[in-house]
Amino acid sequence: MIMILGLLNYWVVVVLMMCGLYIVIAHGNLIKKIVGLAIFQTSVFIFYISMAKVEGGTAPILADGISQYSNPLPHVLILTAIVVGIATTALGLALVVRIKEAYGSIEEEDVQNLDNQTQVDSQQQVTEGDQA
């Protein structure tokens, strides 16, 4: 039991990762898919920070009597990844807005059906134009 509690942060990562993946796969709503991707991305951030944790480590400021230092590089990389994640989420949401304007829906199945119908209609117009 103590071993399981000692690895609690990894269990949280796995649960968040599976929840995010499930949301992306199971839902047809594009907003929900973006939220699922954000949850999945957050789980990766938590995992990376958990791996960088040093027991008893302090900030890398050289001082007498301190033998273990924590590497700040993983934390800096995660800050950069968070900024990139926010930017990609904003871009995804902007694309969803454009899809809503173009198709009138944000459901993946509706967008695919409308797109397929548009292709069929354009092919019929081409064949009618060739016959005339």
DSSP 65: T
Q: The whole model's pTM is what?
A: 0.79
29 — phi, psi (to 5°)? -75, 125
The helix-helix angle for 30-52 and 8-26 (nearest 10°) equals 160
Q: How many separate helices (H) and strands (E) can be counted in the chain?
A: 5, 0
List, for residues 10-48, the tens digit of each pLDDT value: 899 999 999 999 999 999 999 999 999 999 999 999 998
Q: Going from the N-terminus, what domains does the chain have, and what CATH number goes with each?
A: 1-53+70-130 (1.10.287.3510)
- Give the model's pLDDT for residue 85: 95
Residue 92 pLDDT greater than 90, yes or no: yes
